[in-house]
Structure 1
């Protein structure tokens, strides 16, 4: 069972450290590589020593329902590697801290790790969300530690970015205006992830809406950078595709209950009806909504939209059959348990990795992943003396792939007969060109100038029994240089 870890050094030792204490004392600080072979790659090269890894996760904050399976996916992968001898012989000593989705706690955890004698041996960090990844970017860059973290578009640019983009918007008076948004980043050369960045995903969602003959897209999202950045990218791309855009409705990830969501969404669509009826008969009422939050609040959105449809069932003019399309962190197999029939056949989600247990697409890794989960849940349940959460959802897949990306990078370093350091790991990842994750994602590529790894999303919707129903074909977008960083 995954447990939060307190702030003392002794308590910050995670599940992967049982054999590592001796390593900390006995193994030289460098990860040595042994083996012969040709320069440029040696599959027989081995690694000795311990790979120190540190993990940030939200287990008690507003995104805790996502954090627990995400962490389990990472830690199960590391536990299994350790049981089988590590990565090319190097075991992984991993520790995690629950930072509660608070940037100040993420920074405090980072400082405590830096103060520990093991810090020089830390080769990689695992982040979780946008706030922690953005908040630690300056230190990660200075310390040359690869961070497998958030997927905000700015984090995919290794080099500094400064550009102004004209963002379209419909104001409260239903007038279309535009404002100039300045996108700046310090450059994130040590940040890596295996999935589409959030803005690329939002652009793909707009293409999907257009392909399904949608007319006008509204935007329901929180006020954090995690939500607003992709929302702006989506509005620009929607206009480019010939879609009409709707107003933005701010729905926060915490502090608002279902009643508040219901009232806000009902008011939004009542205003849509009134505008068409009283102001502009040619106006197309919003028929699609982009949801930019996380799973728990996505369920609230879906319930609120269903409530609105019921309340405005006899409105004149009528409200269309509004469809909700969610970002990847707002959509999972667990959504139906929270929203029930309100989600059926009208809630869609973009998914840059396979849903849990989906073997229909020929993934050789999915069977291994589910076996891994079953094995370690049985071990954890036996240790706890009671059944725990099963973690059978896309968040577990996400964590598994995150850990796999690290393993693939380490293997590439070892094959070059180089010591496993943060700098060498970064260089190895930046040489990836079409690297396979066993079919769990599209193939991954990075360069020193572009850390957008892929640009493919599968689209699923929630079917009548709550199962995820794929809406083929997969949607792939060509990554434009001008999109890098926003």
Structure 2
């Protein structure tokens, strides 16, 4: 299913709400910077005239819809608020959001539909979402010279072509250690940007956290999507470099498997762990940590399955350790406890490259603004629809907010340079960013012409006894090795 969400406004007001102001106001579609400095500002304080066209691709009906809805709300609220207050340096943002159901083929259809629209030449950027859409569209946006601010797959961080062979360790289902010569190759993604730690860097940080906490062996419970498999490969390589033992991979898909299937698969996994230690190798360390590379809904299923496994195997020998689950940032959120309950308490950890909704422990000066916008626009939406106000008070809303904020900062940089707001100029401006302050919502961002990895810091949180996220200081930062670029 592909759903096109065209935001418009009933009232003739430049507050614009969710709308495209060009449908209401007679504003030229081209954008330029005025050379006037009559307001007393310096030459960099130009004004943007006209409209800025933006397209948003999102999943609100597919397997990650629980992530997509608040993510989209964060972007929309940010743009609506900008439009209500004069836009970006005077330019209003016309944005159209389209649902692609988390299907790569749908993303292609969405993109071609956008290109067929008469406004396409004025579109300066795409706000993306997940791995299937971002990887699928990366070559297209490069050809069309329109920056895509979206998924954080590690391959997308390299503007230039990548061709590298990496020896990736793996423990087979028979517990034999194998090494797989894995070739990573891309054409390069010069128009892709994101604000967060890439998924593979996050996995490497997670391995360091596990090692620091005394973990012995880490298993990998992941889907077969590139979103899951890429970080797992990076994680396995880095785990062994740190002296961690790696465990077997357990394929757990993001859809099509119910809780009973998860329970059975996880229980058998640990029965096999016990049997191997008991019958084949008494020195073997049973998996005591699991890396989960899926999204929140299936990560909850993992957590519940692990809890039930511990109960089922309690008192058996060899004993099962108190297995801990550490999750990719898109597999972890404040909503987990509502679904999971006690099985998640003090057993589920998440790597988080942005500040969770409402968290003041990281000193975010922008978080108050995030919460104000959320509440304001939920009330406006509820009043217009006549329905109860929705709530998107979670990390996904913050993610969407940050994505829109990054776009605004890029456009402002173009305007300050007195250049037209085009895709090419936006890309060039973003590549000049060095230690850009995001109000503490994420670590400071830097991009270069040869490396689009923006930062390498993750906070680690776990789910506490009251269901709230408990920060596990210190934040973890890793050096961005040049040899890791692109995988």
Shorter-normalised TM range = over 0.9
User: What per-residue deviation string (whole Å, max 9, x for no partner) do you get for residues 216-248 of structure 1?
Assistant: 000000000000000000000000000000000
CA contact (8 A) 2:457 2:475 kept: yes
1:448 aligned partner:
449
CA contact (8 A) 1:6 1:12 kept: no
CA distance in 2, matches of 1:321, 1:13: 49
2:294 aligned partner:
293
In the superposition, the TM-score normalised over structure 1's length comes to 0.96
2:14 aligned partner:
none
SS at match of 2:316: coil
1:406 maps to 2:401: no
Report deviation, 1:27: 3.6
CA distance in 1, matches of 2:2, 2:84: 23
User: What per-residue deviation string (whole Å, max 9, x for no partner) do you get for residues 150-204 of structure 1?
Assistant: 0000000111101110000000111111011111111111011000000000000
SS at match of 2:18: helix
CA distance in 1, matches of 2:27, 2:458: 43
Report deviation, 1:43: 4.4
1:19 aligned partner:
21
CA contact (8 A) 2:20 2:95 kept: no
2:64 aligned partner:
63
In the superposition, the TM-score normalised over structure 2's length comes to 0.96
CA distance in 2, matches of 1:374, 1:117: 35
Moved more, 340-349 or 42-51: 42-51
**Number of aligned residues:** 475
CA distance in 1, matches of 2:356, 2:304: 23
Report deviation, 1:12: 3.4
1:75 maps to 2:76: yes
1:213 and 1:42, CA in 2 relative to 1: closer, same or farther beyond 3 A? Answer: farther
User: What per-residue deviation string (whole Å, max 9, x for no partner) do you get for residues 306-325 of structure 1?
Assistant: 00000000111100000000
CA contact (8 A) 1:30 1:121 kept: yes
1:366 aligned partner:
367
CA distance in 1, matches of 2:90, 2:198: 33
CA distance in 1, matches of 2:246, 2:423: 44
1:475 aligned partner:
476
CA distance in 2, matches of 1:58, 1:388: 21
CA distance in 2, matches of 1:200, 1:77: 28
1:31 aligned partner:
31
CA contact (8 A) 1:336 1:462 kept: yes
CA distance in 1, matches of 2:43, 2:308: 60
1:159 maps to 2:160: yes
CA contact (8 A) 2:19 2:80 kept: no
Trace 1:77-226 onto structure 2 (pairs within 5 A): 77-226=78-227
SS at match of 1:65: helix
CA contact (8 A) 1:16 1:95 kept: no
1:96 and 1:278, CA in 2 relative to 1: closer, same or farther beyond 3 A? Answer: same
Report deviation, 1:388: 3.9
1:174 and 1:6, CA in 2 relative to 1: closer, same or farther beyond 3 A? Answer: closer
SS at match of 1:359: coil
1:326 aligned partner:
327
Report deviation, 1:13: 4.4
1:259 and 1:5, CA in 2 relative to 1: closer, same or farther beyond 3 A? Answer: closer
Report deviation, 1:19: 2.1
Report deviation, 1:16: 3.4
SS at match of 1:345: coil
Report deviation, 1:21: 1.1
Moved more, 355-364 or 232-241: 355-364
Moved more, 469-478 or 107-116: 107-116
- Following TM superposition, the consecutive aligned residue runs of length 4 or more in structure 1 with deviations greater than 6 angstroms are none
CA distance in 2, matches of 1:122, 1:368: 28
2:272 aligned partner:
271
CA distance in 2, matches of 1:288, 1:336: 20
2:255 aligned partner:
254
